[in-house]
Structure 1
Amino acid sequence: MARPRKFDETAVLDAAVDRFWTQGYEATSTRELADSMRMTLASMHNAFGDKRALFRRALEHYLDGSLRARIARHEATVSPAAAIAGFLRESIERSLGDGCWRGCLLVNSALEVGPDNPDLRDFLNAELTTIEDFFRRCIVKGRQSGAIPAGIPDDDAARLLFSTLLGIRVLARIRPERDLLEGAARGALASLGLPPMPDS
């Protein structure tokens, strides 16, 4: 019979997320992870596997509590146009609210992971695609209802919003300036005939 785990999985994954988020995937050692998670190396490996497997599990944990939850909340509670604007606004506020200027763990990881990790790259790409898909669903639904004006093709509109979001997240790490980030979002929204972001 397997022995029950003697640790709080949420707490140890929070610690792993924080370490990866602060230092990046490559620079983080398994010893640092184990220390942050307050686990022995053996216990950590037994529970989560190697560093790559732990990183993927930590990233899943991060996404469940941030990106995936935000997409679901915006789609369920407001109109498509408001969902787009609100999502961009919330991304800016999250970027500016982090005094360590860490950006987004998903975006940071996509910039860091190289071609020698194809499985991890595929995973990161699939998760990033969920953002583009969210914008596309909003555009399509809003145009069908007449709330979002016709314009450039749906796919191009979604990609414009997606690339704007990625740009905001990267810029926030080196130039965490509200006018800069809000200006990027305003320009993308205006070019698609979308309403402005809600006030911060």
Structure 2
Amino acid sequence: MEKALDGALLTFRERGFHAASISDLSAAMDLTAGSIYKAFSDKRAIFLAAFDRYTSRRNARLQQLVEVEVTGFNKIRAMLAFYAESSHGVEGRRGCLVAGSATELATFDSEMASRVTTALRRVETSLRTLIQLGQSDGSIPSGIDVEATARVLLSLLQGFRVIGKTGRTRVEMIAAVDQAMRLLS
């Protein structure tokens, strides 16, 4: 099931919910349409399962990268670099399921809107916590407005994922990380 969901995930990331057909999903999941409908009630159920898998896996990987850093400043840099690395080349062109869902589905689907809001709040809360950690450990100035800076960085991270669809380079994305880190000095 995980392998099948990973195939669906790629299809939804590349095409979005509405443009992904059952035949596209069948090919990506390596399942017949009948098997898909036995496992999932409809395309939306596949999407919701893929969305949950996507956010869970990305959050776990991000947590691993952030945990190895010592200071709040370096933890935020690791977080921004993670998003930058996901926002160039093939991976960047595939897009972000959260950003795509926010623009494609959240307006019309209250359950999807709730999932998107939860995902974005989780990131913003992490940023806020890391800024506060940096202020406590002295790596981020105490005069930085925690709430506003967390929102700016959240906007930047989601912006990375959107512009990544346009084929940005790694150099461009890392340069944006370096510039963003100046907000914290």
Q: Is the 8 A contact 2:92 2:167 kept in 1?
A: no
Q: How far apart in 1 are the matches of 2:183 and 2:104?
A: 31
Query: 1:137-156 to 2 correspondence within 5 Å?
Result: 137-156=129-148
Which whole-Å CA distance do the structure 1 matches of 2:84 and 2:139 have between them?
24
- TM-score, normalising length: structure 2: 0.88
CA RMSD of aligned residues (A): 2.0
- Counterpart of 2:61? 70
Q: Is the 8 A contact 1:84 1:138 kept in 2?
A: yes
How far 1:16 sits from its partner (Å)?
0.6
Count of matched residue pairs? 184
Q: Is the 8 A contact 2:135 2:142 kept in 1?
A: yes
1:152 and 1:76 map into 2 onto residues whose CA distance is: 23
Give 1:74 shift: 3.0
Secondary structure of 1:101's aligned partner: helix
List alignment gaps of at least 5 residues for structure 2.
Answer: none
1:58, distance to aligned residue in structure 2 (A): 0.7
Q: Which residue is 2:44 aligned to?
A: 52
* 2:119 is aligned with 1:127: yes
Matched residue of 1:147: which SS? coil
Where relative contact order (Cα < 8 A, 6+ residues apart) is larger, the structure is 2
How far apart are the structure 2 equivalents of 1:168 and 1:115?
21
Q: Kindly indicate which of the two structures has a greater share of residues assigned to helix.
A: 2
Q: Residue by residue, what CA displacement relative to the aligned partner does 1:50-75 show, whole Å, maximum 9, x if unpaired?
A: 21121010111122222x11332133
* Pair 1:91-2:83 in alignment: yes
Q: Match of 2:34?
A: 42
What TM-score comes out, normalization by structure 1 length? Answer: 0.82
CA deviation vs aligned residue, 1:98-138 (integer Å, no higher than 9, x gap): 26712222212212215221111111111121111111110
